[in-house]
Structure 1
Amino acid sequence: MTMSTTSTSLLGFVLLSIIYYRWVATRSRARLPPGPKRLPIIGSLLNTLPARMGLVPPNPKPLYERYLEIGKASNSDVIHIDVMGDHTVVLNSVKAATELLDHRSSNYSSRPAMPMVDDLMGWEWDLAHMPYSDRWRRHRKTFTHYFQPRAITEHHPFQRKSITELLQKLLALPDPDPVELEGYIQHHAGSIILRATYGIVSPKDQEYYVDLAHRAITPIIHAAPHGTYLVDYLPLLKYVPNWFPGADFKRKAKTWSKYSIDLKDQPWEKVQSEIAAGTALPSFVTRNLEGIDTASVSEQVIEEIKNCAGVAYLAGSDTSIALMRCAILALATHPEVQERAQKELDSVLGTGGSNGRLPDYADREDLPYLSAIISETLRYYPVTPLALPHACLEDDVYEGHYIPKGSTVIGNSWAILHDEKLYPDPMTYNPSRFLKRKTDSGKEIEPQPNPALYAFGFGRRICPGRWLALDTSWLVISSILATCTIQKALDSNGKEMEPLVEYERGLVE
């Protein structure tokens, strides 16, 4: 027997022993929430493996819809997925998500281990992935101070400048195709966050760093959902050598880990050189370094500022891009919504000539339908349909269901935002649901719940950069509608083509 065969056999024995122990321990506990049928040892593995792993027949429906279907079939808003003793609890209702992730946040504010993304791909420095700890609190405080609602008004001047540049580029295109349009939107969102975070304004530099962020975010979106790789269920697999049979995930992680390093280090090094030269513009980095003697301050403080800058740079642009793309898709497929929004804009801004102007943040209260479009887009096309997972720190019971310590707990944002109890007729795109209206008898109808409450995560782990993403998206969509009409593409015969609506399956859709 070769050493390779011996190592494989030994590893297999150890893993099977761990799986068996987990299975026996779980069976002795109280009643778990309902879920897919479990087989001995492997649990619901065959029901949950992503189709891209090629191990089960593909399920055309995304995971968030499948979770909701499991809940409906079980007549429960909380479901349990057991994969080889690894427990995942999915919350399909606002009631369950609010009770556990908000009201019991002391037990649900941490993150589960993410062996693939954090340990192998090198993203342990990302604020969003950190366990609930003093380290997380320090990072969160540093980040939130600069990106809270009162602070983001400081970014409005360069947001206005950037939107003017975007419109000039779009209006100069004779017939932009979807790829071109997406590229311009991506560069615009990236330029905003690069200016806010690092003070980077050179178009050439912005193009380079926007591309770097895109290369970094693509693999993390793919790998972040819990269970994408078996190593998420069996962390010991992260120790297998790269040449080991089935260790393709290790080889991928090695390639992808370079992006984590480059994304955090390269823009940081650039702004440091500009600070040294006295040419740095005010930004998140310079604001946090003001009054700090970098030669004597602890490395921890500098590293925390550097980490937070990387998080803003990575996540800030991606969320905005996804929201803007979805809004453009919705407007192209709902011309009646677009027409109403443009009439509202004309009534506030004028219809061109000497009276016409671009919308500004000061117009927001006078453009309620525009704001409703952003809200309905966020509801109908949530950019993160499954919220980042939480970890249950201690055994808990919810409505008679046992939630084991160490469980991964996921808020199903898509299910909540498509719940007909909260949002009647949820599969219809209807911005008016967020406006104050009156019935035929004159009775006021209150707007439906703000989807931002459920689209950016829950409890203490709600996305701290959501205000900038919403701000950026509002100005872009309102400015495009004030100057352009979004239409479906035409084929060679001049006939409209229906957009092919496909989500990339991953963390951000």
Structure 2
Amino acid sequence: MKFFSQDPPNAFRSIVFVSSLLLLATLARLYLNSRRPRNFPPGPTPSPIIGNLPELPPTKAFLKFHRWRKQYGDIIGLKFGPQNVVVLNNYQHVKELFDKRGALYSSRPESYVGNELVCPGEVHVLLLPYSAAWRKLRKCFQQLMTVSSVETLLPIQIAEATKTVHDIINDPEGFYNHLRRFPSAVMLATAYGKRGRSFEDQVIQDLYAMLHDFTEVLAPGFMPPADEFPILKYIPEWMAGWKRRARAVGTGQMELYRNLLEEARQRSENGELKDCFLKTLMKEQNEGKNELNDAQLAYVAGIFIEAGSDTTASSLLSFCLAMVTHSHVLKKCQEEVDACCPEHSPTADEARNLPYLKACLTETLRWRPVAPGGIPHALTEDNVYGEYVLPKGTMLLANTWGIHHDESEYVNPAEFIPERFLDNKFGTIKKEKDGENDRRRTTYAFGAGRRVCAGQRLAENGLAIIAAKIVWAFDISPTSQIDSSIETGYTDGFVLAPKPYAAKFVPRTQERVSIIAKEAEEAEKFLSRFN
């Protein structure tokens, strides 16, 4: 009580003194925590308190990580303020840590923006740490993405691919958005039993607007580093526009997914809902088999279109970009598909059994991975890795760009060379047998370890089908100079895609136009069940 009975000037001085001590203590703690731990992987010297954050570019940090590799090696230790960060630039480290030590390296870093502002309530499987909630949601995806389940979706992919080719024939200048519509339409039918007829459909417009905002607010460097400097969490929302922005994105996302869920429920009650993932999930929820609340149910279905739209569209646009800028590759693809099916566009089985086309698609994923910086993992306890000691809570980034552009693994990695995958499914300088013995992955575009993308087979099927139909139907050429560089020709953000480019899609023959028109009629009859 004596403190509060002091005269105002003395009381003010006491408050200033105590506040100064607290500030100094906080700064001292931040300074100590921003220092590199002992036996940490090599990396640039961190600045006091802020660590290596000032050295990172605002976008496409994966390019900086790749350049640092020449100076510091395949495994780099960084400090994002007090946060320990390790970047893996070689598949060996990813295999040893993510694949072999998945029990320790499968969590996610704390994400105040992701899990508290954008997606509160343990709903988004991509952002959740390794936990019971994550395992419950992951199990739902795995059960829906079995080999047999994915095979049942081929008719939808074939029909929507045929419609896409038909749309480009009728509107060649709109190819960019027609290609973006394809994966969204497949996932709408698959997850919700719902059509996505045109890129201008409101649901597809809402989806891509949401995906743009979602990937933007989660992109490294876009938001203040609240996880590295927790004091930022306590700034009142009325003073923090970034908080309001993140919360608005989350609200919009939840509204979109809930509206789609309620619409599907209404159609189910009316007996109008066709077989789809959501119909299965709602039935299991009613029977108490999946223990999902409504918010989680809405997000499980929503994440199917979220994960399957932007990423597949990006890969498809990159494939077409490669065809436009590598005419000799396109010609080889056309010769292969013509020999297989001269009188009809490729079926699913035919599309998946074209070796050169498959090599082109694998090379596309290597050359221009959709998430080149990787999705952060987190270490759940202290771990010794070779000569290094990695502390609990360390954030780990598998730099997919660095792994796929490793000059010690690939000949001329900056070049688009599908032939590298013809005699060696890994496309590497080392022999295929060496890769198999080493248990490496063909591509790291879908992640690794227990967090690997559950929809990889679905995505690969869709890409093979639409790519085969495109090269069968069209000659593709540039109408002006095209920028295919990752630095300037691609968007920024968490998921990268080619910026709109000028290309001409010309039907190869009038006969093939007629064939596609006839096949499109059959596709429309099939898809009408989802109207």
Instruction: Report the counterpart of residue 421 of structure 1 in structure 2.
Output: 408
Paired position in structure 2 for 1:97? 94
Deviations, residues 189-242 of structure 1 (Å, cap 9, x unaligned): 111000000101263799222112111111222232444422242233133113
Alignment partner, residue 133 of structure 1:
131
Q: Partners in 1 of 2:24 and 2:147 — Cα distance?
A: 50
Amino acid at match of 1:275: S
Relative to structure 1, the CA distance from residue 448 to residue 152 in structure 2 (aligned partners, 3 Å threshold; closer, same or farther) is farther
| Secondary structure, aligned partner of 1:73 | helix
Mapping of residues 84-483 of structure 1, within 5 Å: 84-122=81-119, 124-173=122-171, 175-176=172-173, 180-201=174-195, 203=197, 207-229=201-223, 230-244=225-239, 247-290=240-283, 293=286, 300-350=292-342, 356-364=343-351, 366-436=353-423, 446=432, 452-483=442-473
Match status 1:31 vs 2:39: yes
Work out whether residues 40 and 389 of structure 2, in 8 Å CA contact, stay in contact via their aligned partners in 1. yes
The code of the aligned residue for 1:217 comes to L
Count of matched residue pairs: 469
Residue 505 of structure 1 is matched in structure 2 by 492
CA distance in 2, matches of 1:469, 1:272: 27
Q: Give distance in 2, aligned partners of 1:291 and 1:373.
A: 40
Equivalents in 2 of 1:10, 1:182: separation in Å? Answer: 61
Structure 2: which 5+ runs fail to align? 1-7, 9-14, 425-429, 497-531
Deviates more, 1:410-419 or 1:251-260: 251-260
**Counterparts of 2:462 and 2:215 in 1: how far apart (Å)?**
21
Does the 8 A contact of 2:107 with 2:130 survive in 1?
A: yes
Aligned equivalents of 1:138, 1:183: Cα separation in 2: 35
- AA paired with 1:21? R
Aligned-residue offset at 1:317: 1.0
Match of 1:441 in 2: none
Distance (whole Å) between structure 2 residues aligned to residue 224 and residue 265 of structure 1: 21
Counterpart-to-counterpart distance in 2, 1:82 and 1:69: 17
Local SS of the residue matching 1:300: coil
In 1: Cα distance, 2:348 partner to 2:340 partner: 13
| Counterpart residue type for residue 143 of structure 2 | H
- State the SS of the aligned residue for 2:201: helix
Q: Distance in 1 between matches of 2:29 and 2:459?
A: 45
> Deviations along 1:135-155, whole A, 9 cap, x unmatched?
111111111111233311111
Give the whole-Å Cα distance in 1 for the aligned partners of 2:125 and 2:368: 25
Larger radius of gyration: 2
Q: Residues 433 and 448 of structure 1 are in contact (CA less than 8 Å); yes or no, is this contact kept in structure 2? A: no
Contact 2:31–2:49 (8 Å) recurs in 1: yes
The match for 2:476 is 486
Separation in 2, partners of 1:478, 1:376: 15
Give SS of 1:455's match. Answer: coil
Normalised by the length of structure 2, the TM-score is 0.82
Give secondary structure in 1 for the equivalent of 2:393: coil
Given that 2:369 and 2:400 are in contact with CA atoms closer than 8 Å, whether structure 1 keeps it comes out as yes
CA offset digits 1:298-351 (Å, max 9, x no partner): 97355443321111121111111011010010110000000000000110001x
Deviating more after overlay: 114-123 vs 151-160: 114-123
Matched-pair contact (CA < 8 Å) for 1:36–1:47:
no
Match of 1:59 in 2: none
Q: Give, in angstroms, the shift of residue 432 of structure 1.
A: 0.9
- Name the CA shift for 1:186/1:504 in 2 (closer, same or farther; >3 Å): same
SS, match of residue 80 in structure 1: strand
Q: Greater shift after overlay, 63-72 or 299-308?
A: 299-308
Change in Cα spacing, 1:427 to 1:12, as seen in structure 2 (3 Å) is farther
> Structure 1, unaligned stretches of length 5 or more?
2-6, 52-61, 351-355, 438-443, 490-495
Distance 2:81 2:415 in 1: 39
CA RMSD of aligned residues (A): 2.9
Distance 2:163 2:19 in 1: 57
Q: State the TM-score, normalizing by the size of structure 1.
A: 0.85
